[in-house]
Amino acid sequence: MPINTLAYAQILQTTLDEAAVREMKTGWMDPNASRVKYNGGNEVKLPKMSTQGLGTYDRDSGYPQGSITLAWETHTMTQDRGRKFQLDSMDVDETAFVPTAAGVMGQFQREHVVPEIDAYRISKLASKAITLNSAGMVAYGQTISANSSTLRKVKEGIKAIREQGYNGALVIQANDNTKMELELELAGKLQNVTWSQGGINTTVPAVDGVPIIDTPANRMYTAITLYDGVTAASGNDPDQTIGGYVKGASAKDINFMILPVETPLAITKQDKMRIFDPNTFQKADAWSIDYRRYHDLWVLDNKVGSIYLSITQAAS
């Protein structure tokens, strides 16, 4: 009986896409993609709209004419990442292929894909805030410790965003140290709110009703360097064959980042997943799985000023 590798690929692709959104610390950003036009491939269209303010109503001529401008800008997802894997035919039979492949690819995604996407998104948001350099929105040289009044730092960040005119729902993306200090400082007093991500409701701590998403420190950088997965070490150049990402050479550590829920427009997709059975794959007697993921993040021009950063190191 012929092996339906297309069906296998569709099952795995759907499962891994859903798991990625659930497991990412930045998975809360993905629902904003509903405002993005995506028809496959690596291109998306982002809305750009502007309106005019109120005018004076005249009892004779009525309402002053206003205008609305709506345009769709085409953007290319810059993150085109992938890996090829082989499962020896002696290690798995056809009937066990789906659970075996799902386990292997699920582990790969949890250990490598999810952290990289989180780190990329956070670093891109940080880069935009730092480049804009809006007054009071980037705090450098902030130490998070038992005597540093972490709560005050967070509340100042919330206040800074509110003063920019953003009154909707906010999110605090905080490293583990920041979350721990807040818990200690507010022992028995820290609020809890319901947080929904990837179709699952959980309870998370909050400050002033703003949920805190604890994020590993190794994803909280102002810049990252991506490895291509093929370039071997040479001289002072690192071994890139391991793939993944590392902290950027001049990057700084982020204690926490606060921003409106609606600010980031993020997409992550496996546009195509290919599976070749041992009878088709010519290189070895093995199943071959090609994993390719497009992803990127954008911030509309009128939302860039809504991102608040607390950075450990001093400005340089």
Confidence band, pLDDT 50/70/90 cuts, at residue 269: confident
* For residues 62-91, average pLDDT: 86
Rounded (5°) CA angle 68-75-258: 80
pLDDT score at 2: 42
* For residues 62-68, average pLDDT: 90
- Pick 212 or 7 by higher pLDDT: 212
Q: Where are the domains of the chain?
A: 5-47+69-311
pLDDT tens-digit map of 205-226: 999 999 999 999 999 999 999 9
Confidence band, pLDDT 50/70/90 cuts, at residue 7: low
pLDDT score at 138: 97
5-47+69-311 fold: phage-related protein like fold (3.90.1690)
pTM as predicted: 0.87
Question: What's the gap between Cα 120 and its chain centre?
Answer: 7
- Pick 40 or 167 by higher pLDDT: 167
pLDDT score at 1: 35
Rounded (5°) CA angle 174-270-200: 45
pLDDT score at 99: 65
